[in-house]
């Protein structure tokens, strides 16, 4: 059986997860959540006229390696919010993306827009983590959630007040998301098993999304023209990472993306 890039990432995620579970019990996470303020609702921002931007705090990636040092994730997130980002995505996977739950907490403390925990979530524990550390949204990737696991995690996310962003890459995965009743559906132009990017995947798959859903385009954005194209293809929201952390002026870049 061929081992994909995603398989390698998930193996590392499971190892790191086991370590965190040995340090912080589920009961402790639940206690933190009970004391946490209610999560923010991203849907009004996502459904606003024009295109909305989810701006990502992203230090590195398996495909591009080091992207930016980001010594102060909170300051970067504040610049994103000042530029008009509808939400901030924080990568919390450590091995391949250089993120952490502490990044999530620091961003949450700095901004008043919704925050997405971007990680490879495969267990209920990680959703409790997301809420305990301040997330308002959580990413659920259909490709890594077989059988009833997607349904279980989607249901738990809703119970916790998290908005699930259900990510897809194929027509079959969209069918699973739609059957689930997902309200926020992402189409990732990057194939996580190979890391190859094809933005036309969004153009091909977007017509299969329900009109009532929030359509999020992920990956493949180099500049405003790419955001504009996604918008023409039906995207309500575009998630942007690399182009922003490398821009040198993320606040102005987001304004350009929104105005594209």
Q: Which of 60, 89, 118, 253 is catalytic?
A: 118
Q: Which of 219, 229, 242, 253 is catalytic?
A: 219
Yes or no: say if 243 and 253 are a contact pair by the CB < 8 Å rule. Answer: yes
| Cα–Cα distance, 92 to 235 (Å, whole number) | 25
Yes or no: say if 72 and 107 are a contact pair by the CB < 8 Å rule. Answer: no
Q: Is 219 a catalytic residue?
A: yes
Q: Is 247 a catalytic residue?
A: no
Q: Is 242 a catalytic residue?
A: no
| Cα–Cα distance, 160 to 165 (Å, whole number) | 14
Q: Is 204 a catalytic residue?
A: no
Yes or no: say if 193 and 6 are a contact pair by the CB < 8 Å rule. Answer: yes
Q: Is 188 a catalytic residue?
A: yes
Q: Which of 58, 89, 93, 129 is catalytic?
A: 58
CA dihedral for 126, 128, 77, 182, sign (positive or negative): positive
Q: Which of 93, 129, 167, 242 is catalytic?
A: 167
| Cα–Cα distance, 60 to 66 (Å, whole number) | 4
Q: Is 58 a catalytic residue?
A: yes
How many Å is the maximal CA-CA distance in the chain? 47
Q: Is 118 a catalytic residue?
A: yes
Q: Which of 93, 218, 229, 242 is catalytic?
A: 218
Q: Which of 188, 229, 242, 253 is catalytic?
A: 188
Active site residues: 56, 58, 118, 167, 188, 218-219
């Amino acid at each position: 059986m061929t081992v994909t890039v995603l398989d390698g990432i998930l193996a590392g995620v499971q190892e790191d997860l086991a370590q965190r579970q040995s340090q912080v019990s589920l009961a402790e996470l639940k206690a933190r959540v009970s004391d946490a303020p209610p999560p923010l609702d991203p849907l009004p921002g996502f459904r606003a006229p024009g295109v909305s931007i989810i701006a990502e705090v992203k230090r590195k990636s398996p495909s591009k390696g080091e992207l930016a040092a980001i010594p102060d994730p909170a300051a970067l997130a504040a610049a994103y919010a000042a530029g008009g980002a509808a939400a901030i995505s924080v990568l919390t996977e450590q091995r391949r993306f250089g993120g952490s739950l502490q990044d999530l907490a620091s961003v949450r403390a700095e901004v008043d827009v919704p925050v997405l925990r971007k990680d490879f979530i495969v267990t209920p524990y990680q959703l409790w983590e997301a809420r305990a550390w301040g997330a308002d949204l959580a990413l659920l990737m259909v490709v890594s959630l077989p059988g009833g696991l997607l349904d279980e995690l989607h249901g738990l996310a809703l119970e916790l007040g998290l908005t699930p962003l259900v990510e897809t890459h194929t027509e079959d995965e969209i069918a699973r998301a739609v059957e689930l009743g997902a309200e926020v559906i992402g189409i990732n132009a990057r194939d996580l098993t190979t890391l190859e990017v094809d933005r036309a995947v969004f153009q091909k798959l977007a017509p299969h999304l329900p009109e009532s859903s929030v359509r999020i385009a992920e990956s493949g954005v180099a500049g405003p023209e790419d955001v504009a194209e996604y918008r023409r293809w039906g995207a309500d929201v575009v998630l942007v990472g690399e182009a922003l952390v490398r821009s040198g002026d993320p606040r102005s870049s987001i304004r350009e993306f929104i105005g594209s």
